[in-house]
Amino acid sequence: MASASTGSRVSCGRDLNCVPEIADTLGVVAKLGFDFLCMPLFHPRFRREFECEPAKSRPGAQTRSDLLLCGRDWNTLIVGKLSPWIAADSEVETERRNSEAALAQELNFSAYLGLPVFMIPLSGPNNANLARLLLNHIHTGHHTSNFWIRVPLMASEDMREDLIENEPATYIDDTEVDEKSWSWWHSFRTLCDYNKRICLAIEVGADMPSETVIDKWLGEPIKAAILPTSIFLTNKKGFPVLSKAHQRIISRLFKLEAQFIFTGTSQHTEKDFKSYLQYLEYLSQNRPAPDAYDLFAKGYEDYLQSPLQPLMDNLESQTYEVFEKDPFKYSQYQQAVYKCLLDRVPEEEKDTNVQVLMVLGAGRGPLVNASLRAARQADRKLRVYAVEKNPNAVITLENWRFEEWGEQVTVVSCDMREWAAPEKADIIVSELLGSFGDNELSPECLDGAQHFLKDDGVSIPCSYTSFLAPLSSSKLYNEVRGCRERDKDPESHFETPYVVRLHNFHQLAKPKPCFTFTHPTTNMNNNRYQCLRFSIGCNSVLHGFAGYFETTLYKDVTLSIKPDTHSPGMFSWFPILFPLKQPISISRDDDVTVRFWRCNNGKKVWYEWAVTEPSCSAIHNPAGRSYTIGL
């Protein structure tokens, strides 16, 4: 139950404040179509006394027996709820001490029952003692429960009281009001040191915060969304529906595979309570179908991968196979070669002018095939050299040549930087780009090959630019924390970039250009230094930077993984993540300034990065101590 739904069906629970007969209630809830039940473990009005006699020694059971359900039902169908009177941060000492003992009792009983999840509400900014007690419980027990921290999207005291029934929800634009409850959550998870077992259950109210604040919430580790029945409107046929604003947040929660919890009594008494679930299922079924990129990326969301090093390592056949399936990339390369051939060879020379095209890093031949198709499309003559350093892939190229290409293609088994070319090229074509543009050493490779390009020759691609954007994501921060390796420096995993399909994150500002490289070039120095400043505009926390790139293959033919210009359906590259060792808190008036260096010592290339505003971080990866790319 507590894992997000795997199929297309939405996982829903029913939240009840009083459950007289637990087995009967569970049966009724299941019959309505719910997957689990949220309920208090102790009677909500039973304030146990742990400090004062005689109530302290009251005989008898303090709650009902675990034998009312079988172990499997407790393990999969029940989410426990903390009693609402418990105030572990009360300023009244007797109340605080009593609450501490009651909290420990409820947490321990939840662990004893083997509940998958226990839900704890936050209703104000002061929760340090609650956080301490919960963290102590997590670190001392052998249980595996997760904890959902129930936080309203907007604090109840900031909700409008003049709501008219069936009037669509409005956005509140006062950012200070908007962000109040988020700051409760941020303080709590920071006190708990981003513990992986402490997740978020957001309560969606009738009023909605601004889009910016919703974006920020959706970058948090949301496992559940609580939907009060009071936020539903009524359509013409008397069924419950949601306003457009609520529908937008629900559809984004579907993408995070959040579970939904319905709380409150039916506001549509003439309809079955099932109608609430059916409406949510209807919204889920009517989502837009995933595109090729989403289908390819399924299962890789927020999964960290080390960037490829094809210069240092020989790639495997399956790796080539994955990239060759990209529907968009090679059609763009074909288009670029086609336009280039038409520009270089006038119509009257098409039978006599044979253009020399060199594919540098030919892999298993997709660029050779794209170039040959372009020549046929343009009706121009072409002589091709396929240069590849991986001896295993050369076998594939030789077979292509024997079976299809013939004398038109010459296969060269050699590193392009060491190859003595028999003639100069009119066009060199390569696909040496990584997720950050230059991070697979395209600049060094193409500079090394430039000497066999004619003076008026063309490189495809002719330029590429990397981009950076600040991001917040406790999910990714925790993923990076989990990458620590025993035999390496304790912080080396925070000084390493990762290729990752960004999913549960909040991008704090639009990407800005970082490093640009052009080919051919007269400047062979590929070291770079860039200082970028971003305006954030909301209270947040900085966990790292997302890296993207754009490239111009030829004239107006481009490829991009930058979100606002992303090539449709192209999945050859996921973004890159540059993490920070320590999260940096940001106020809405702060600018974030980051400094990035690209360094090359002749044997290897590496990046260094540091934040200098609003506060200074350490310089990450100095001298390439944790991560380098081998030349």
pLDDT in tens, 570-587: 888 999 999 999 999 999
Is residue 4 very low, low, confident or very high in pLDDT (cuts 50, 70, 90)?
A: very low
Give the per-residue pLDDT at 6.
Answer: 39
Checking if the pLDDT of 554 tops 60, the result is yes
Instruction: Determine which one of 100, 203, 431, 608 is catalytic.
Output: 431
Task: Tell me the mean pLDDT in the region 196-213.
Answer: 91
pTM of the shown model: 0.89
Report the mean per-residue pLDDT for the chain. 89
Does residue 431 have an active-site annotation?
A: yes
Checking if the pLDDT of 172 tops 60, the result is no
Beta bridge partners of 241: 233
427 close to 334: Cβ distance less than 8 angstroms: no
Give the per-residue pLDDT at 552.
Answer: 96
Is residue 7 very low, low, confident or very high in pLDDT (cuts 50, 70, 90)?
A: very low
Tell which wins on pLDDT, 630 or 56. Answer: 630
Tell which wins on pLDDT, 462 or 210. Answer: 462
Residues 6+ apart with CB under 8 A from 517: 437, 438, 442, 443, 463, 464, 465, 526
Give the per-residue pLDDT at 163.
Answer: 47
Give the per-residue pLDDT at 484.
Answer: 78
592 close to 586: Cβ distance less than 8 angstroms: yes
Instruction: Determine which one of 179, 220, 440, 444 is catalytic.
Output: 440
Gap between the Cα atoms of 428 and 442, Å rounded: 13
The tokens of 497 are what?
């970039």
Indicate the residue type of 108.
N
Tell which wins on pLDDT, 430 or 292. Answer: 430
Could you tell me where the beta strands, DSSP code E, fall in 421-497? 425-430, 453-460, 463-472
pLDDT > 90 fraction of the chain, expressed in percent and rounded: 64
Checking if the pLDDT of 377 tops 90, the result is yes
Among the listed residues 492, 503, 477, 542, the one whose alpha carbon sits nearest the alpha carbon of residue 193: 477
Give the per-residue pLDDT at 311.
Answer: 67
Does residue 176 have an active-site annotation?
A: no
| DSSP per-residue string spanning 382-397 | EEEEEEE--HHHHHHH
Give the per-residue pLDDT at 298.
Answer: 83
Task: Tell me the mean pLDDT in the region 611-623.
Answer: 95
Could you tell me where the beta strands, DSSP code E, fall in 64-161? 78-81, 117-121, 146-152
260 close to 10: Cβ distance less than 8 angstroms: yes
Residues 306-326: tens digit of each pLDDT:
887 766 777 888 888 888 888
Among the listed residues 433, 591, 593, 596, the one whose alpha carbon sits nearest the alpha carbon of residue 517: 433
Task: Tell me the mean pLDDT in the region 333-353.
Answer: 94
Is residue 551 very low, low, confident or very high in pLDDT (cuts 50, 70, 90)?
A: very high
Give the per-residue pLDDT at 55.
Answer: 64
Is residue 3 very low, low, confident or very high in pLDDT (cuts 50, 70, 90)?
A: very low
Checking if the pLDDT of 560 tops 80, the result is yes
Give the per-residue pLDDT at 356.
Answer: 95
Dihedral of alpha carbons 20, 26, 28, 33, sign: positive
pLDDT > 70 fraction of the chain, expressed in percent and rounded: 93
Tell which wins on pLDDT, 293 or 42. Answer: 42
Is residue 171 very low, low, confident or very high in pLDDT (cuts 50, 70, 90)?
A: very low
Is residue 176 very low, low, confident or very high in pLDDT (cuts 50, 70, 90)?
A: low
41 close to 81: Cβ distance less than 8 angstroms: yes
Is residue 5 very low, low, confident or very high in pLDDT (cuts 50, 70, 90)?
A: very low
